[in-house]
Each structure stands twice: as structure tokens, then as C-alpha cells.
Structure 1
């Protein structure tokens, strides 16, 4: 089968790998489309240290069941069904897993991050049946590739305890920030502001239901006060660098919550006084639990037309390296880029 291999940092190549088989308890998936995640871009450039040359990345994906391994009868799956999968594999037995906090499992591994797993930038991928989620035949299949980043967003807003009537600020209007806007509104936020420098992304975020702010126009806390009449109840930092965490603390009310979901920098410095003396909370958010993923899938499966706004374009496997290079160079793409991996099958 064809795969996109990270041959070296800043170079993806088309390569051939053996086709996987559906082992016991596994489902083999014909991949239709896989989204390019910000973490994939950082892996492509070598910035985050979480991807290695020779790896086949990819974890935001959708496809159709190609084969079922032994022991999967109890799931009721059928060949040909549209599916996505939760890329977080946990042990399902430890204290964290039994408490429904699979992202805390000490044995966890992530498809698309673990270099030993040929992941979703491949024409086929075999995954545990427990991780597979069936999608409706009535929803555009490419929407399934949006479920994983939306699950990240659902988890981030739940970690921040966003609830009905709250006024929420999102810092960063890229794909995760866009997903956070939708998740916050789904959780009942009365109004969402988004701080984003790029005008195309500001426009997209407005179409998702947020009010967009240009952080270069004036201090962010002043713009938030002008829009809300007060500071934000909760802020989600979808960037995660020193200036954005500082802005998040400035723009959040005393006793408010800052959810840190962006991982733009491995280390951050910020004013401890803004946390302790003004009793703000900084809440870390990583990945999601199984319920977050299922909830995101159920929402996507309802086929909201707003989901189309999240997809900027689709590219072929042959054009994937150029797409990665463009995104790494901040080429102005406002939303998500999907790589189509089913073109060769469709032409057969």
C-alpha cells in the first residue's frame, strides 16, 4: 500500500509498505481522508521532538471498514461502514481507565505519535475495535476527519468548566481554536471572542459564531472589556506561548479559569502573582477521554453545515508534502487541510 513517510524533517515521500491485517480484536480501515494536525506540522519540521524520520504519521482520520479481525463480532460492525477511530489507545484496566480518564492511563499510546505504528497517512490502518466509532451514512464522510480535533476542544472546554451563560475568550483562531469556539457554544457559552492575528482566520471564526479580535489593534484585556463589559469568565489558550498565556491571565476575571490546550512552547514563564493573588486557575488539557471522543463524533454525525467551514481544502497524497511545507511556512490557510488517501482506490 502507499503511505506518506517522513523521510527526513521537512520532507514527506510516497512509499510502499506491506498492507496490514486485521488481527484479533482489530478492525482494518480503508482510509478516506486524514487531517493535517498542528502537531503533525511540528513533527514534520522536527520542532516538537515527538515524531521521527521514517515514521508514518496521521491521527485525524475517517475511512470505511475493510476487514474485521477475530473477536470483533460483539461490536456489530460491517464491512463498508463509514468509521473513524479514537487514536488514544489505553489499557482499559487501570484506575484511570476505569474512572473514564483514559488520557491519564500510564500505558497509553497514541496512533500517529507512536513511531512503531503505521498510522493514518496510509491507505489502510489496523486499529483496536474498542477505538472504532461508526458514522452515519447520511453525513459527508470527510466530516469524520474533524472529530479528533473537536474531541480535543470538547475536553478543553470541559476541563475549564465552561457552562451556560459564560463569556469565553479563545486565544488563537487556528484549527484547534476554531474547534474550541464550536465546543464552547455547544456547552452553552453565551458569547465567544477569539483573538487572532490572521484576517482570514478571523473571518472564518466569525462564520463559526465568534466575535473576532485583532490582538495587534489594542491590548487584549481592553478589547475584551469593551466587548463583554467585563473580563472573560474563562479563557482557552489554543497557542501556548509566553505572550498568549500572559494575555490570557490579563483578560480573565479574578477567580476565572485559563485552559491551556496549545503547546506552542514546551516551557512557559508567567506572572505567579496574576495566578495566586487574583485566584485565577491554569488548567492543563491534553487529548480527551473516550466520552469526549464519542460526544464529538455524535455531534459531527448530525451533519451541521458549519462543519464545512472548518475544511479549507483537500489535497492528494502526491501533493501532501507541498501542503505540509506551506502550512509550516504559515501560508495563510485559514482552516483544516485534509489529505485524500482514497484516490487510487476510486480510480481502480
Structure 2
């Protein structure tokens, strides 16, 4: 029998993708915590670039009728059978690792559940009601405690940043960013911003960021990065003029940015592809082979990296405050999605706030 802090309402608000380009606020049944699950009262959920591409139908990874959302923070308000004894208990503030791995395959046994072949993702799998809703039921093993560093309500929402921050951290780890490293980040959006902070966590030296939008250049400059404007000339040439990068993190993921990454990185250096702007890209093989550069992929994060990022994020509330550009209510979210799809200039993260009392 499930344990609850208080009986939740029988229905809840949720953002439903009615059709591509059409999001609505609907009333759905409140989920129940099943065996091994916890029920969360969602405080805030971030709009990911993949959510936006799902909204427009660009990426083919979302379908009409589903509830999206995977960058989230909430409070445990119910425990399903067998969910007791985990790290999080009733009343705890938590963030959610949205990857549901099988736990049995070689990748899972190696601590790399993020590349489990049977992996499902909350917010991507259309059969899962996800985090753009008042309540969310998830496996207890996927919630990670989040300490916001303050009782301030706005800092509670920082838990919704943990997921993209973990993506940036994993990319930097895949790039073997070390203390004093000279790093280039291509793209100053939320994942590029996360990559900058990850490089700072790992002790990188100079961090340069190429970003066409002035608002994002200002944001990443505030994070301690040197900014490059692609409009000022070829980015690889701008980088080479100041000395090539040891490691380049491509947070865009197009043929053009991969070419820039290779040409801006020193011979023998590493280029990490973490952005997914295009499913197919053209690659200059000679720029890899003749200069012995290493090109590696980065996708999501390991469970250990996610948990470590949650701990770190709770310790730097002032640093994370600038990453949030806009907070909207669920009722305002359809317009926010529409604005973002039309290219509205937002430097950082847009959060949908479901519980204004706590967030």
C-alpha cells in the first residue's frame, strides 16, 4: 500500500502535445506510485532543446498525445510498495535522472546505464506521462536528493538544471578536460553553458565559447568564458590566432560546427560531439586522420555523474541563478513554446513552474 504525505487530487494539470506546434493544458488523472516508485509533486520543469524539436516535429522523437518533460525537480509526496529505504523519503526535495535502464546488461553492470540498449527516457518515450505535469511517478532508484543551498523558493528550481548540467559535465569528462586545459565550446545555449561550468568544475584554464547570439555571449562571459562572435570571421581562424584548443566541445552538432571543431583543435587534440542539431553530418576524414585528432560522442551521463552534479549544483546557487532566463506557469507554457519555436531570443533556460508555493 502506498504511503502519502497527504492524498493528492485525483486529477492534475499536464501539458499535452496535441499536435506538432500545438501544446495545451489538459486535466489528466493523477498517477499513483506503483511498486518501487515514488510520487513527486513537481515544482518546475525545464524546456529542453529536444522538447522544442519534439514540439515542432523536427526530431521525430516525440509524438502527438504525449506529455513531455525530463528536466525536473519536485518533492516526494508518496511512496509505492517497496520504495522505502532509498536515499529519498517523504517530504524530500529531489531531482530525477530520466533514464530508465534495464539494470541487467553489461553497460548497466559497468555503471553506464545511459547507453543501455533497453533504455527508455522519461519525457521522450510517448508511453510515459512525464514531467510537464503537477505530479510524476518514477522509480525510486531514479530520484536523487537535491539540496538547494537555501530556503529561497527560487533556488528550489535549480534542481531542474541538474539534468542539462550533467549532460555538459559528461561531455567534458568524455573530452578528458583536465586542470589547466585550453577548451573551446561551440554554442552558448544551455548545453554550452553547462559545458562551460563543467570545465570550470574540472579546473580548465582558458575557456572560449563561440556563440552568434549576443545575449548568450553575455551570459557565458558572466560564467568566466572568453566569447567569440562568428560574425567577426571564421571561428577556427579566430581560435587559431590565439592558439588552438586542446579540447573542443561541440554543443551544436552540425557539419559546419564539426568542421570548425576539427580545424580549431590542435593536432592530437580531442573533439567531443554532444550537440545533435542534425542526424547526419559531413566529416572531413583527413582532419581527423592526418592530424590524429580524436572525435568522440557524448550522450547524457552516467548515474554517478548525475548524482555528483546534483550535489555540486546544490552548493553553487549564486552561480546557477544566471542560467534561468524565464519562469512561466503551465497556462503560459504553450505561448512560451510557440515563441521559442519562432526563434525568440532567450539566453538561458525557460522553466515551467507547477508549484509556485515552493518555486
Identify the TM-score tier after normalising by the shorter chain.
over 0.9
Indicate the residue corresponding to 1:18 in structure 2.
Answer: 29
| 2:166 matches 1:151 | yes
What CA distance in whole angstroms lies between the structure 2 residues aligned with 1:264 and 1:221?
19
Indicate the residue corresponding to 1:91 in structure 2.
Answer: 102
Indicate the residue corresponding to 1:278 in structure 2.
Answer: 291
| 2:69 matches 1:66 | no
- In structure 2, stretches of 5+ residues that fail to align are 1-11
Q: Compute the TM-score of the two structures, normalised by the length of structure 2.
A: 0.93
- In structure 1, stretches of 5+ residues that fail to align are none
Q: Tell whether the 8 Å contact from 1:185 to 1:191 is kept in structure 2 after alignment.
A: no
SS of residue matched to 2:232:
coil
State how many pairs are aligned: 343
TM-superposition CA deviations, 1:195-241 (whole Å, max 9, x none): 000001000000011011001202212211333xx200000000011
Q: Offset at 1:78?
A: 2.7
| 2:78 matches 1:78 | no
What CA distance in whole angstroms lies between the structure 1 residues aligned with 2:58 and 2:260?
24
Q: Offset at 1:178?
A: 0.4
Indicate the residue corresponding to 2:244 in structure 1.
Answer: 231
Q: Offset at 1:137?
A: 5.6
Indicate the residue corresponding to 1:203 in structure 2.
Answer: 218
Indicate the residue corresponding to 2:197 in structure 1.
Answer: 182
Alignment of 1:1-348 (within 5 A): 1-75=12-86, 77-136=88-147, 138-139=149-150, 140-227=155-242, 230-343=243-356, 346=357
SS of residue matched to 1:34:
strand
Q: Tell whether the 8 Å contact from 1:84 to 1:132 is kept in structure 2 after alignment.
A: yes
What CA distance in whole angstroms lies between the structure 1 residues aligned with 2:165 and 2:187?
15
Q: Offset at 1:32?
A: 0.4
SS of residue matched to 2:246:
strand
Q: Tell whether the 8 Å contact from 1:63 to 1:82 is kept in structure 2 after alignment.
A: yes
What CA distance in whole angstroms lies between the structure 1 residues aligned with 2:296 and 2:85?
38
Q: In structure 2, do the counterparts of structure 1 residues 271 and 129 end up closer, same or farther at CA, with 3 Å as the change threshold?
A: same
What CA distance in whole angstroms lies between the structure 1 residues aligned with 2:149 and 2:177?
31
Bigger CA drift: 112-121 or 77-86? 77-86
TM-superposition CA deviations, 1:293-329 (whole Å, max 9, x none): 0111011111331100100010010110111111112
Q: Tell whether the 8 Å contact from 1:170 to 1:192 is kept in structure 2 after alignment.
A: yes
TM-superposition CA deviations, 1:33-76 (whole Å, max 9, x none): 00000000000000000000001000000011110111122215
What CA distance in whole angstroms lies between the structure 2 residues aligned with 1:204 and 1:76?
35
Bigger CA drift: 210-219 or 37-46? 210-219
